[in-house]
Amino acid sequence: MIYALVAAEDLYSERILMKNDYLLNMDLSKVACVRPDEAQWVKSPADGVSRKHLEREAEESGHTTSFVRFEPGSYFPEHTHPQGEEIYVLEGVFSDENGDYPAGSYLRNPPGSTHKPYTETGCTLFVKLEQFQADDTTLVALRPEDQHWRPGIGNLKVLPLHTHNTESTALVLWPDNEVFQPHTHWGGEEIVVIRGRFIDEYGEYPAGSWIRSPHMSKHFPRVEEETLILVKVGHLDNEPA
């Protein structure tokens, strides 16, 4: 009986240790940044599909943010997204049973949705899993031809992709040598540098960088060359995980 109790305790601590091994950047109250040379591509359980982990709370479930690369002709098994899946196609053509999505496409598969993704040509994606607000049930599939640029502050161009309550997602195009105003991120800010180089007083972020800045963080951003970024704001006022 005593042996059984000890064994159960050992198993429990091993589970905790394993969970902690997978934990990555899950304290949303802290700055997190991954430049392209700071993370390795890691093979996924599916042949030809690899990932760069950015945020992770478990091995293959829960809150996850990553870059995902599909080799030509690869697929990922059919799966359901209990709390939604957000995708931006960075390169190539991503496909599932609902259609083909070329580079520049933005997808939101709402909570409870199911699909079997694949690619014929190969593709690279930015993917956020299990992070939808409970009442955000809108299916979104915006291909480049469905997207419309608008003038932004200064010489920026802005392409709104999705808004729900305080959460807002957009593409922002910065022309050469554009300097933005110092500002505070209410609800935080998350950026993927798609093209060019993004700069603020804390560093420089080449294409392929991911930056997460917490609620009420501040910065003074600028660029030197034309730069395209994906920006999410207003979604990081959560308690740390």
Residues that bind Fe ion (CB under 5 A): 85, 189
- Return the number of the residue (136 or 189) whose C-beta is nearest Fe ion: 189
Closest approach, Cβ 189 to Fe ion, in A, equals 5
Phi, psi of 66, rounded to the nearest 5 degrees: -160, 160
Q: Specify the DSSP element, H or E, that contains 27.
A: none
Q: Nearest distance from residue 81's CB to Fe ion, in Å? A: 6
Closest by CA position to 222, among listed 194, 240, 192, 202: 202
Minimum Å gap between C-beta 10 and Fe ion is: 35
3-state secondary structure of 62: coil
Nearer to Fe ion, 15 or 218 (CB): 218
Chain position carrying tokens 């600028």 = 222
Is 104 or 214 the residue whose CB approaches Fe ion more closely?
214
**Closer Cβ to Fe ion, 6 or 78, answer by number:** 78
Q: Which two tokens stand for residue 118?
A: 């694949």
Q: Biggest alpha carbon distance in the chain? A: 72
* Two tokens, residue 35: 């430049």
Minimum CB separation from Fe ion for residue 115, in Å? 6
| Contact predicate 217/184, CB 8 Å | yes
